[in-house]
Amino acid sequence: MDRLALIKQAALKAKAKKLNTTVEELEFQETVRKLDERKAKIKEEMKLHKKLTASVKKAGKESVGSLDFNTPENMYYSDKDNKSFLENSSYMDAYNANKSADGDY
């Protein structure tokens, strides 16, 4: 054993004697305390994970795919929309006026 280990062992024996218990019991209690600390850390990480998961799910409703104009029905104009737009526009008037000049009868 090295010197540091001997000092630790002596301190542990003194602490056990002061608390009126055995060295093994103190070691066991230390192990349990470390285990509880690890469990508490994991529990805190899981809370954070759940919180982040919930916020991501919430944000998913507002993602790009969920916006109304990105749906396939709204991405392109239908033939009906095009026809109703062109009927009352100057584009159609210009097309009809130049139709005969282009050779399309």
Residue 30 counted as domain residue: yes
Structure tokens at 40: 């508490």
Query: Is there a domain that residue 18 lies in?
Result: yes
Same domain for 40 and 70? Answer: no
50 and 70 co-located in one domain = no
Q: Is the pLDDT of residue 47 over 80?
A: yes
Residue 105 lies in a domain: no
Rounded to 10 degrees, what is the CA torsion of 89, 91, 94, 97?
A: -70
User: Each residue of 65-94: pLDDT tens digit?
Assistant: 556 666 777 777 788 888 888 887 888 888
Are 36 and 78 within one domain?
no
Can you give the residue range of the structural domain that contains 2? 1-62
Q: Number of structural domains, the chain?
A: 2
Tell which residue, 14, 83, 46, has the closest CA to residue 22: 14
> What is the rounded CA–CA span in Å between residue 27 and residue 13?
11
d(CA 45, CA 69): 38
| pLDDT higher than 60, residue 105 | no
Average pLDDT of the residues of the chain: 82
The tokens describing 24, both together, are 């093994």
Q: What is the pLDDT of residues 9-29, one digit of tens each?
A: 898 889 888 888 888 888 899
